[in-house]
Amino acid sequence: MENRKNPSICCSVEQCMHNLCTEHFCTLDQVHIDTHESDPSQKECVDCASFIKRQNFC
């Protein structure tokens, strides 16, 4: 089945297998946003926990 972009989730992380690289959108219906900090204070503290490393090229 062809992956379709979720127009509500813009993402430029091409290294993720869920990314539609040609358009820079996520293809999942929803994503889990998380933090690796105990008290996040800036955007660098926040991560997409749905990221999975892509095994092939975009």
Number of residues that bind ligand SF4 (CB under 6 A): 12
Minimum CB–partner distance for residue 41 and ligand SF4 (Å)? 21
Quick note: the x/- pattern for ligand SF4 over 17-56, rule CB under 6 A, is: -xx------x-x--x----------------x-xx-----
- Distances in Å between the Cα of 42 and the Cα atoms of 13, 35, 46 are 19, 10, 8
Contact 40, 2 (CB under 8 A): no
Residue 13 binds to ligand SF4 (criterion: CB under 6 A): yes
